[in-house]
Amino acid sequence: MGQRLIEGTNKLLLYILKQLVALELKEDSEEFKEMIWTSLPNTQPDHLNTAIHALNTCQLTNFSFSPKELLFGMVVNTKKTLLKEAAPILKEMDITTHMAYIAQQQLDGYDRMVRHTIRHKNTFDKRVIWESGKEIVFEAGDLVQVYRSNMDHTFKTERKLIPKWSAPRRVVKRNVNSYMLETLEGVWMEGEFSARRLRLFKKKPEERQEIEIESEQVGSGEADLEVTRTPPSFKVGAHGVEDIR
């Protein structure tokens, strides 16, 4: 989680720096989009403080507050105390009132974030239902693939080499919108997997049947494996017995 937050913040910081050091470029231009950390002009350190200030003071849509207001306890929607009226020594009542304002402000930000998440989820569910026509439900024994969502938020070279979808897994149990899975060898996988990260494993019928047969025969001897082999066919010809497979 920490790495994802750092990568997301770096992306925002890079975006602001690009705007500060390349004022002549438009945001929709290819040169602006392709600009990365290594291609920034040498003047970018001069704009670093301005970019950080913009990040700290920008209002977050999900919270309706800026990071500075939430993290440093800066009360909003209240009148500022005049400097001449500010007492050199803080009163206990003033501190208590300020802390109460901060607690309520953080609760308001959390409430707005939850409401935004619920609206986002409802929109996602409506789109999924509209595209598929019904709720996607997997039954025990179904073969599914797991989407590696952690690769969407990393710049590692591995994301170009590792497939986005895992090998086939078998559904063991359903828990609301999550599922417990196991490998084809019958080894249970740790944790539960959200239905959003799963898709039905689709392959040709004969290939799917081969996978199921192989998973059932794990741990069996050679005698069991011979059952799946095609029995040989022979004919008697002029030169003796011939294999016609």
CA-to-CA distance for 105 and 74, rounded, in angstroms? 9
Closest CA relative to residue 150, chosen from 135, 137, 166, 169: 166
Report the pLDDT averaged over residues 135-164.
80
Report the pLDDT averaged over residues 171-199.
89
Q: Pick the residue with more confidence: 51 or 150?
A: 51
Tell me how far apart the terminal alpha carbons of the chain are, to the nearest angstrom: 57
Residue 245's pLDDT is: 43
pLDDT at residue 3 greater than cutoff 70: no
pLDDT at residue 2 greater than cutoff 50: no
Report the pLDDT averaged over residues 148-165.
76
Closest CA relative to residue 75, chosen from 113, 111, 104: 104
Residue ranges in 44-171 assigned as alpha helix (H) = 48-57, 67-71, 92-132, 158-161
pLDDT at residue 179 greater than cutoff 90: yes
pLDDT at residue 199 greater than cutoff 80: yes
Answer yes or no: are the C-beta atoms of 100 and 106 closer than 8 Å: no
Q: What is the mean pLDDT of the chain?
A: 75
Residue 226's pLDDT is: 39
Q: Pick the residue with more confidence: 87 or 4?
A: 87
pTM of the predicted protein model: 0.43
Write down the CATH number for the domain with range 143-228: 2.30.30
Tokens 């080894």 map to which residue? 187
CA-to-CA distance for 74 and 41, rounded, in angstroms? 35
Q: Where in the chain is the domain with CATH 2.30.30?
A: 143-228
Q: What is the pLDDT of residues 59-110, one digit of tens each?
A: 877 778 888 888 888 878 777 777 776 667 778 888 888 889 888 888 988 8
Please state at what angle helix 48-57 crosses helix 2-21, rounded to 10 degrees.
Answer: 120
pLDDT at residue 238 greater than cutoff 70: no
CA-to-CA distance for 69 and 72, rounded, in angstroms? 6
Report the pLDDT averaged over residues 32-52.
78
Residue 215's pLDDT is: 58
Residue 5's pLDDT is: 53
CA-to-CA distance for 40 and 26, rounded, in angstroms? 15
Q: Quick one: pLDDT band at residue 223, thresholds 50, 70, 90?
A: very low
